[in-house]
Amino acid sequence: MNGYTDELDSLLDGFEYEDFDERVARRRPTAVRTPSRQSSFTSRQAPTAASQGQVQAAARNLDAKIETLGNAVKTLESRTNGLAAEQERTTALLRKEATDRTKGVDATRAELQQTRMLALLLPLISQQAVEVPAEDGRTVKVVTQSQDQLSTLLPLLLLLPGLSGGDTGKPMDLTPILLITALRK
């Protein structure tokens, strides 16, 4: 490689990662010890029966290999159980996060619906001061409901499906607009 990448690698190698909380210390699992692949059977030149010592040595050799394999199985089982427990913890955390997000989305939807309803009701209950002629010829200011039908219907029009960007593709129902217009006159 070129000198730049070698220098960068050497700088990164000398960097102290232990100072940071984000880094998770993971150690590589050590290799599982297994018995040698060499056969436990040794052929003899003499066709005579094996002596007691030879049989005991072969049995000890096989016992050692069986013990080594048993320890390897235990090691692998404990590692597998550790990984399964870690996966269960991660799964539980992910489920909790998904539930929390769903609750958050539901709360946001409820707040949005409430805001929409308030935006719809506000022009209907808003009042304005209007000058009205009195019987004696003076003008008197009277508080009355707004007669501006456009400002009353605008929030309703914005909340209708198809106009507000949601539920596009559905035909727009104009019945609420016609009813409110007829009731306002």
Span 42-101, pLDDT tens digits: 676 777 887 888 889 889 999 999 999 999 999 999 999 999 999 999 999 999 999 999
Biggest alpha carbon distance in the chain?
144
What is the domain count for the chain? 1
Q: What per-residue confidence (pLDDT) applies to 162?
A: 52
pLDDT at 120 over 70: yes
Q: How far is CA 102 from CA 98, 114, 129, 167, in A?
A: 6, 18, 46, 21
- Find the mean pLDDT for residues 100-113: 92
Structural element, H or E, at residue 175:
helix 175-184
Residue 155 lies in a domain: no
CA–CA–CA angle 154, 159, 164 (5° rounding): 100
pLDDT at 31: 79
Q: Where in the sequence is the domain holding 73, given as residue range(s)?
A: 52-112
Query: For residue 116, is pLDDT > 90?
Result: no
Per-residue confidence at 38, pLDDT binned at 50, 70, 90?
A: confident
The token pair at 77 is: 């089982």
Q: Does 65 map to a domain?
A: yes
Q: What percent of the chain is predicted at pLDDT more than 70?
A: 62
Look at residue 126 and tell me if it is in a domain.
no
In a domain, 32, yes or no: no
User: Does 152 map to a domain?
Assistant: no
Cα gap 106→134, rounded to integer Å = 53
Say which residue the tokens 């159980």 belong to: 81
- In the chain, the amino acid numbered 46 is A
> Is 106 a domain residue?
yes
Is residue 166 one of the residues assigned to a domain?
Answer: no
